[in-house]
Chain A
Amino acid sequence: MTQSTRWHSASPRDEAILEPRRHPGVDELSTAQTLHGVIVDRATRHPNQLAMVFIENSGDHTQVSTQDLLDGSLRFGAALRDLGIEDRDLVILVMNHSLGLVYGFIGALMIGAIPSIFPDLTERLDTTPYLGNVRDKVARYGIRAVITVPEIKGELEELLADLNCEVLVAEEVLAQVGKVPDLIPVEADPLATAFIQYTSGTTGVPKGIALSHVATLNQVLSCYHAIEMQDDDVVVSWLPFYHDMGLIGSFWLPIVGEVPTVIMSPFKWVRSPKMLLHAFTQYRGTLCWMPNFAYNHSARFIRQRDLEGVDLSSWRLVLNGSEPVLESSHRIFVERFAQYGFRESALVTGYGMAENVLAISITPPHQRARIDWVDREKLHKERVAIPVEPGSDGAAEIVSNGPPVLGTQIRVVDETGSDLPERQVGQVIINSYCLFDGYYMQPELTDEVFEEAGWFRTGDLGYFANGELHVIGRAKDLIIVGGKNIQPQELESVANEIAGIRTDRSVAFGILDEKQGTDVVVMVCEVRGNPSDEERQAMKTELRRLIAERVKVTLGDVRLVQGRWLVKTTSGKVAREESRNKYLAEFGGLR
């Protein structure tokens, strides 16, 4: 297929070609220059090494050797090839968290196709809008194959009948026995786009983040270095693979680092958070990464009886990333689990985003992430981080996000792009050996986020102190709920569909719920006329339902207001920050 994205070319990633092995102390790892090359190389050198343990929803634990991983992937590669899928074709995986998903992803890489993972179909939702979404994406991007589960095969085939797209059922490939099909993995260009990571976009069109083999391998080695990965490490993870921390951190990092990774379903884990601790106990796990809310979810919702026999003494590092880090979440986690051997020196933090593949900064291992106590008012009003006595009145507790990872540079700049001194708050911009190629088929959007010299504007606000980055807020009104990025525009446009809610008179923003350890989504919507209690109730029910269906998040608070309530800018756009302040002043926050 033709590539219409104008690739960003000024990044130093071009200088990093074929140099990912330059990081000290990691010479013994595979020198393959592509992701699938690492799989082939590892299986050749250590075919019987344990690559992965997959904890199935049934409770069975499937052990996967490096040879199994290679064979499974080759079967998927061959199945895709037999359907006519070729080099540079797009393949999406629309399926549950499973081994087939892993094999399918690597199988696509083996034939030079570009895979991406669609967020899981959750059990609570109607399949129709979800599959409609799949169709839109197939049509928009010219996707050539969908790998899926038997349950939705028929529906998908019907839906995609007029498009040039094949449907492959993972179970049929997994059921193959006997000789592995002959397939010689392609010699891919290490700088070519390897896969696409999707993230939500402001217009409702998801942004496809195109990542090369080299960028991914560079990032993986940066993380390897930052966390001081060792031979006896064991990763344990409940993260979904459509999330960068799951796909890169919990899969590619241990694959390249040649340590086992223990994987479980995120959908099972949310209902049964004890699973993670049981897996740590059973496999003597040492490493884990998760968003902040997961610390609260684990500390609050595991029942005492479910902790019998749990032993966390092998756990040496847990990295808090992908949403703002709260020290209170670290505290309740330690309080609850220290008696089971959990060490507070394991608490590290990081800052990152899929545009840099995963991490931008990580705090040093073997020590609890540092806390910077600063004057809260000066921080927000004067944008300067003035140190104050820990715990004093008006002090804000800012957890460090650490120094840049190897190969990534960070600057904090003002509106004119000039560097700011330590302790001054500005926009965080980065340049690295692992930057993305661009937003897939969205060249204007790509141009918007890059400076001429190749620096990427993260849109986030932060400051440096003691050489470590402290991220204090997200620009562009982004809401992060449980590590999931949500654009307020997506939510507000859904409200327009609810009868009784005035068009373009709704606002969405995040409010921190410290108990949950994450932001919750609040919406304030202006209503027409003077609806009765029953009508209000119906509007709320429909809004909650439609938001959950479309944006896959539940609302933390909904306020229906009368009259002109929203704060708008002079150009008539919703002023979210001001509307949020008005909500806090008028309603006093969450009920």
Chain B
Amino acid sequence: MDLTEIKTKLKQFIVTEIINDPDYTIEDEQSLIKGGVIDSFALAQIGVYVEEEFGIYIPDDDLTVENLDTINQMAQRVSQG
């Protein structure tokens, strides 16, 4: 799966499942957790989603704000496998 597709899916998941606002546009470089759009609770949720959707297991210790604050960071992490 290419990066663009991963990003699209991640954005779709966040706007529909986490912030309940499908009209909201997330930018690739937007600070999601530091910017208060989602909180660290969502990291556990994203961990589960990424495994279900992309088959990628991100260990809990890597589910951090530093690692996964933006769509770009999340997509990079997913594409690394």
Contact = CB atoms under 8 A, between A and B. Distances in A.
Nearest to A547: B36
Contact of A556 (B20, B30, B60): B20
B24 A540 contact: yes
Interface string B16-39: 100111101100001001111111
B61 A554 contact: no
B21 A301 contact: no
Given A297-B41, A482-B41, A544-B37, A556 B19 contact: yes
B35 to A, nearest CB: 5
B47 A305 contact: no
A273 interface: yes
A274 B60 contact: yes
Contact of B21 (A267, A270, A558): A558
Nearest to B68: A271
A140 interface: no
Contacts of B19: 544, 554-557
Contact of A270 (B37, B41, B48, B51): B41
Contacts of A305: 57
A122 B34 CA distance: 10
Contacts of A124: 33-34, 36, 39-40, 65
A301 B35 CA distance: 23
A590 interface: yes
A555 B35 CA distance: 12
Which bucket holds chain A's interface residue count?
A: 35 or more
Overall SS of chain B's interface: loop
Contact of B48 (A300, A537, A549): A300
Contact of A554 (B30, B39, B48): B39
A125 B20 contact: no
B39 A271 contact: no
Contacts of A591: 16, 20-22
Given A122-B40, A271-B60, A303 B22 contact: no
A305 B59 CA distance: 10
B45 to A, nearest CB: 6
Interface of A: 122-126, 267, 270-275, 297, 300-301, 303, 305-306, 482, 520, 537, 540-541, 544-549, 553-558, 590-591
Given A124-B40, A541-B30, A591-B20, 19 more contacts: A123-B64, A124-B33, A270-B41, A271-B47, A271-B64, A272-B60, A272-B61, A272-B63, A537-B24, A537-B25, A545-B36, A548-B35, A554-B38, A554-B42, A557-B20, A557-B21, A558-B21, A590-B20, A591-B21
Interface of B: 16, 19-22, 24-25, 30, 33-45, 47-48, 51, 57, 60-61, 63-65
16 contacts: A124-B36, A271-B63, A272-B44, A272-B61, A297-B41, A297-B44, A301-B48, A541-B37, A546-B36, A547-B36, A548-B36, A548-B37, A557-B19, A557-B21, A590-B20, A591-B21
